[in-house]
């Protein structure tokens, strides 16, 4: 299951990262492998579900656009790309990375040139946002009344 956990983590990171940054990093990987589509990129919707009170019964909140695709490399590695929004190129890049991460020859390069950089960029985005937000945390203080 470790493989699935890793793959799950990688797919999440690829989907959360800005498509422009992902494209930039993929450009540094060198020649990308050719592939055949098992499912060409298609855009549709995903129904977003919440829970009543955050932890109760499920309910349908509303939909979001979503794009997905599946591709296969020459050696049979299958890559899956699923991303919120309508960016077909983003879904394709996710699927390509997903497939290449399964190839022993390419996985190390993808991890170093793409995944590590995306992870660090995300960490920096979050740290910056947290720092800005934390500045607006309220520090309550009570005024001492003059009775003592």
Partner 1 sequence: MYVAVKGGERAIAQSHVLLADARRGDAAVPELSIAQIRGQMRLAVARVMSEGALYDEDLAALAIKQAAGDLIEAIFLLRAYRTTLPRLADSEPIDTSRMRLSRRISAAFKDLPGGQILGPTYDYTQRLLDFSLMDESAEIGTADSGPSPNPVETTVAPRVTDLLDRQGLLESEACPAGDPPPPDLTREPLLFPVDRTARLQNLARGDEGFLLALGYSTQRGYSTTHPFAGEIRFGTVPVEVFVEELGFAVEIGEVELTECQLITGFEGGSEEAPRFTRGYGLSFGHSERKAMAMALVDRALRARELGEDTEQPANNEEFMLSHSDNVEASGFVQHLKLPHYVDFQTNLELLRRLREEWEANHGNTAAPAEPPAVPATMEAA
**Residues 94-103: b if buried by 16+ CB within 10 A, e if exposed:** bbbbbbbbbb
Check binding of 49 to partner 1 (CB under 8 A): yes
Torsions phi, psi for 70 (to 5 deg): -135, 135
Residues 55-94 close enough to bind partner 1 by CB under 8 A: 55-66, 68, 70, 78, 80, 82-86
Binding residues for partner 1, total number by CB under 8 A: 55
- Which of 10/103 has CB closer to partner 1? 10
Q: Choose among 28, 22, 24: nearest CA to 10.
A: 22
Q: Choose among 34, 48, 39: nearest CA to 91.
A: 39
Question: What SS3 class is residue 99?
Answer: helix
Check binding of 144 to partner 1 (CB under 8 A): no
- By the 8 A CB rule, do 81 and 98 touch? yes
- Which of 28/44 has CB closer to partner 1? 44
Residues 11-40 close enough to bind partner 1 by CB under 8 A: 11-12, 15-16
Q: How far is the CB of 118 from partner 1 (least distance, A)?
A: 13
Task: Report the interface residues with partner 1, using CB under 8 A.
Answer: 4, 7-8, 11-12, 15-16, 42-66, 68, 70, 78, 80, 82-86, 126-138, 140
């Amino acid at each position: 299951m470790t493989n699935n956990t890793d793959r799950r983590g990688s797919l999440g990171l690829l989907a959360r990262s800005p498509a422009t940054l992902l494209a930039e990093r993929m450009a540094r990987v060198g020649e990308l492998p050719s592939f055949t589509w098992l499912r060409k990129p298609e855009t549709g919707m995903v129904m977003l579900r919440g829970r009543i009170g955050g932890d109760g019964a499920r309910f349908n909140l509303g939909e979001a656009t979503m794009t997905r695709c599946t591709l296969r490399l020459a050696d049979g590695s299958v890559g899956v790309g699923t991303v919120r929004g309508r960016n077909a190129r983003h879904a394709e890049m996710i699927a390509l990375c997903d497939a290449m991460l399964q190839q022993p020859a390419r996985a190390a390069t993808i991890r170093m040139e793409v995944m590590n950089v995306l992870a660090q960029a995300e960490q920096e985005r979050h740290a910056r946002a947290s720092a800005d937000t934390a500045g607006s945390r309220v520090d309550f203080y009570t005024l001492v009344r003059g009775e003592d």
